[in-house]
A and B are shown apart, each in its own frame.
Chain A
Amino acid sequence: MTLEQENNTGWKFFLSELKPKGKLLTPFNIISVPIVLLGIVLIVIRFWKGIGAITNLTQEVPWGLWIGFDVVTGVAFAGGAYVVTFLVYILHMKKYYPIMRATVLNGFLAYVFYAGALLLDLGRPWNVINPIIGNNFGVSSVLFLVAWHFLLYMIAQLIEFSPAIAEWLGAKRIHKILSGMTIAAVIFGITLSTLHQSGLGALYLMAKEKIHPLWYSEFLPIMFFVSSIFAGLSMVIFEGSISHRVFFQQISEKNHRAQNTIIMGLAKICAGAMFAYFFLQILVFIHDKNWNFLDTPMGYWFMMEMIGFILLPMMLFYVSYRKGNITLIRIASILTMLGIILNRLNVTVIGFKWDAPIHYIPSWMEIVVTLTVIFTEIWIFRWVIRRMPVLSDAPSWAKNEH
């Protein structure tokens, strides 16, 4: 084959792979396509007329749904990637290997899209390169740290995932090089994750009087970090149970059977992390002497979060782990995820300027754009899973190297 021919087949391979592989008229597509199209129109309006044209943000509440949900909550949910790579590569718990790639892929895409949603929220996005090229480095800024870490972590995750891409393309030599880089990327990635998961909490440290005292504390960074462990794992459990249904034919018999023990293991870790988190919350509550806030509407809201969405799912995780009840674990993971959404929104939106006369409520357009971001991420996730060995086993030539 001449070089030209080779290039030609390369292109053909690419083009043929671009086409969707599954059924087109699935319920998910029927819902997501119009929303994404609408979202794109809204995004165009946003860049044309300014952020205020489609959001309800005010001078009092400059960060709304796009930061509070897309970025802060989305990144917490993406925390599963660093926990699972920690289990697989650092602690050598081979049991979790089957879910590793899907989790890393999910994490990577979450960062690309949810951190990417940050761009929509930037008033002057063309200057986004400034803190990267050094015009100027605002090193005393937590956001500077978080932004850099997002960037570096995306690269680390891409490296972690890259062997799957090489397997898809059948590039054996590159595969070997990329696999060799995995462990360094994993170590780097976990370190970065620890820092930026807590960094997202640290972002709000200077907003001391603006956040309701039940949610503000100097321990926000630690809280955000600890909760990202079970937030991420709940997402893994949830996403795993959906993937196992949707992409049934991709998954080998062996991995299907392994799925339950994996979920049980994750449930155990979740229960432990949630216990630590709950304990921390109580310590902070007592330390900050917040008793007098309890008997207020915000206090009830706080207790609902603590009891209904931390304590309850924690006990469910524990019980279902003891009983081996997978359905209960799934319920617990959904409750936990709701709890995380609640917590992050309480810090960033609901409890932010809670005492202001006018409250920020996201516009329907902000919600559509958020859904657009989520749906596009799922589309790409699906596209990759149908092509690369993520859930399915790696080709035999790649396995021998391990």
Chain B
Amino acid sequence: MSITRRGFFKAVCATGAVLALGRELQASPSAGKGGIEYRGMLYDSTLCKGCHGCEFDCAEANGLPYPELGQDLPPIRTTSETQRTVVNTYSTSKGEVFVKVQCMHCNEPACVAACLTQAMFKSKAGPVIWREDKCMGCRYCMVSCPFNIPKFEYHSPNPKIIKCDLCYNRLKTGEIPACAANCPNEALFYGTRRQLIKEARRRIVENPTKYVDYLYGEDEAGGTCWLYLSPVKFEEIGMKTTIQKSSYPALTKGFLYSVPTIFVLFPALLLGMHQATKNDHQTKEE
């Protein structure tokens, strides 16, 4: 054998250490790594009149084609490779309710944990953004996102992942997201997550008959930066209620944490077995 046992162990430990580095996952309820408070949006479905204006504002702000809203518009649509947001219509026990759909900007996003190039990226202030120069188009983010948000341009040789980035470029210049800036009914309220939660609570407390006593997004998937108020149970307006109330990336933590351990233990074990059985055979042969 041309490699000494000590040298081998050293190499193995080094590998283990490298693989173990930086493995912690971000975990923070309302603020990111830099201690900056996450920003997000409060969507009050009792105020939304279903004008679909935000769909146009979003398309304009992000260079996407205007949505085609004909007479035969299906009441329920999903976001797509040409639409980062859609507004759906539900007929409920309290009449028609409109629900805006877009990326929830999770506090601990599954898509970010999934991304092997950090193309999906949780920025310090909260928006989860997608970076074209890094993405390799594996679509693991789509597999992992519990809300089915990232969309992929299947018919392009240079496909992009399409999803809401909370108008990251507008935020950088001090503007607020296009949808919130232009909503005529003040259904969208942009602010720090803490403010939003406080405001939502206030509305619920002051109008107990108007709202159900639940703030969607406060705990879903470990908390999201988008928060939803509703006049009816959230099942009725098509919001996913099977979403677990804790972090999705935590589901893979156990596995990922075991990696460095295995990298140190296994080679040692295997080498030990190799030596032990070798002697065994030699003694037998003698």
A-side residues, CB < 8 A to B, are: 47-53, 55, 57, 59-60, 62-63, 86, 89-92, 118, 121-125, 127-128, 130-131, 135-145, 147, 177, 180-181, 183-184, 186-188, 190-191, 194-195, 198-199, 202-210, 218, 221
**Could you tell me if B113 and A187 are in contact, using CB atoms closer than 8 angstroms?**
no
Q: Is B155 positioned at the interface, with any CB of A under 8 Å from its CB?
A: yes
Contacts of B139 in A (CB 8 A): 62-63, 123
CB contacts (< 8 Å) of B80 on chain A: these are 59
Asked if A140 and B249 make an inter-chain contact with CB atoms under 8 angstroms apart, the answer reads yes
**A198 contacts which chain B residues (CB < 8 A)?**
255
A130 touches B117 (CB 8 A): yes
Q: Tell me the complex Cα distance, A208–B146, Å.
A: 8
Chain B residues with Cβ below 8 Å from A130 are 117, 119, 134, 136
Please name 8 pairs of A and B residues whose Cβ atoms are closer than 8 Å in the assembled complex, sorted by A.
A50-B153, A52-B154, A59-B80, A62-B142, A123-B137, A135-B133, A177-B2, A187-B271
| Cβ–Cβ contact B251 & A208, under 8 A | yes
Contacts of A208 in B (CB 8 A): 146, 244, 248, 251
CB-based contact B152/A205 at 8 Å? no
A145 to B157, CA, bound (A): 27
CB distance from A44 to the nearest CB of B (A): 11
Of B118, B249, B254, B277, the most chain A CB neighbours within 10 A belong to B118
* Complex contacts, B159 vs chain A, CB 8 Å: 50-51, 123-124
Q: Which of B135, B142, B155, B278 has the most CB of A within 10 A?
A: B142
- Asked if A139 and B137 sit within 8 Å, CB to CB, the answer is no
Give the docked Cα–Cα distance between A142 and B249 (Å). 10
Contacts of A188 in B (CB 8 A): 12, 267
Q: Which residue from A90, A124, A142, A199 sits with its C-beta under 8 Å from B137?
A: A124
Complex alpha-carbon distance, A205 and B249, angstroms: 9
In the complex where A138-B117, A191-B267 touch, is A89 in contact with B274 (Cβ < 8 A)? yes
Besides A92-B278, A142-B256, A191-B263, 5 other A-B contacts (C-beta < 8 A): A91-B277, A92-B277, A141-B113, A177-B2, A187-B274
How far is the CB of B128 from the nearest CB of chain A, in Å? 14
CB distance from A384 to the nearest CB of B (A): 25
* Nearest-Cβ distance from residue B141 to partner chain A, whole angstroms: 9
Pairwise interchain contact A136-B143, C-beta atoms closer than 8 A: no
B212 within 8 A of A: no
Q: How far is the CA of A221 from the CA of B262 in the complex (A)?
A: 14
Is B270 an interface position by the 8 A CB rule? Answer: yes
With contacts A145-B259, A177-B2 known, is A131 near B117, CB below 8 A? Answer: yes
* Residue of B25, B138, B143, B271 most packed against chain A (CB within 10 A): B138
- A86 CA to B269 CA, complexed, in Å: 12
Q: Which residue of B lies closest to A94 (CB)?
A: B281
Docked Cα-Cα span, A125 to B136, in Å, equals 6
Q: Known: A91-B273, A141-B114, A195-B262. Is A121-B252 also a contact (CB below 8 A)?
A: no
B14 to chain A, nearest CB (A): 13
Minimum Cβ distance to chain B for residue A366 (Å):
13
Q: With A53-B155, A205-B251 as known contacts, state yes or no: A92 contacts B270, CB within 8 Å.
A: no
The residue among A59, A121, A188 with the most chain B CB atoms within 10 A of its own CB is: A59
Report Cα–Cα, A52/B3, bound state, in Å.
49
CB distance from A151 to the nearest CB of B (A): 12
Determine if B235 is an interface residue (Cβ-Cβ < 8 Å).
no
Q: How far is the CA of A78 from the CA of B182 in the complex (A)?
A: 56
Query: How far is B281's CA from A143's CA once the two chains are assembled, in angstroms?
Result: 41
Is the C-beta of B61 less than 8 angstroms from some C-beta in chain A? no
Q: Report how far A195 CA is from B262 CA in the complex, Å.
A: 8
Question: Could you say which of B119, B152, B266, B281 contacts A92, with CB atoms under 8 Å apart?
Answer: B281
Given A130-B136, A143-B116, A188-B267 in contact, is the A51-B154 Cβ separation under 8 Å?
A: yes
